Amino acid sequence: MNDLIQKTAQDLAGAKNVVALTGAGISVESGIPPFRGPGGLWEKIDPLEFAHIDAFMKDPAKVWNFFIKEMKEILDNAGPNDAHKSLARLEELGIVTTIITQNVDGLHQIAGNTDVIEFHGNFAWQRCLDCDERFETVRLDISQIPPRCSCGGIYKPDCVFFGEIIPPHHLLRSEQVASTCTIMLVIGTSAEVHPAALMPVIAKQAGATVIEINLEKTSLTQKTSDYIIMGKAGEIMKRLTSEVERLL
């Protein structure tokens, strides 16, 4: 692993246009459970019953009580970990330019990254279904369920529910940055959910080096990634960033 960290640090130290694709694995270390896989939220609740836009529109109080309130509590107590902080530091150093994330926790922005493309929106914000006003989830009064805007409209998390489409401009811009980056870091994602999983493929086809940082191998490992550093995102990214700083 030390050799791979050294190799990656040398590549990053000489790069100016690095894009990172991040998934649930980067936020698990902040206490945020994944939606899919063992221990994920979808093992506890049926996503079609509690996370589909039709279910929300039919009975928003039910969805708030059984799903959104729990997510709010989790996010209220979560903060950026070493992986988030390291990506923000790499942006400060002029190396990382853009984050493409499948996460909805807003931790990249809290850590300090300024250009974050959120494929699935952001649970850290609510949007009024009537007047379209946005309001921070952490400041939301949930003594009344569903919570309402000052205009009387119901607040819905500003993220993509099942049955909704990924904002086309997010997809277009992700494809653009993936096709022009020199290095893509793939951190904490199984690369199974499309279209996010296509971004490393686009980057590779355009000539970028694709480096995975994951606990285990993924569908990208054999055909797309140049190599994988296996381990916890926070630990690896902290070591990697320290080595980059030493080289600069």
Q: Cite the active site residues.
A: 120
- Give me the residues paired with residue 127 across strands: 134, 156
Backbone angles phi, psi at 222, to 5 degrees: -80, -40
| Helix or strand run (H / E) with residue 98 | strand 96-101
DSSP track, 186-248: EES--S-STTTTHHHHHHHHTT-EEEEEESS--HHHHHT-SEEEES-HHHHHHHHHHHHHHH-
DSSP track, 116-139: EEETTEEEEEEEETTT--EEEGGG
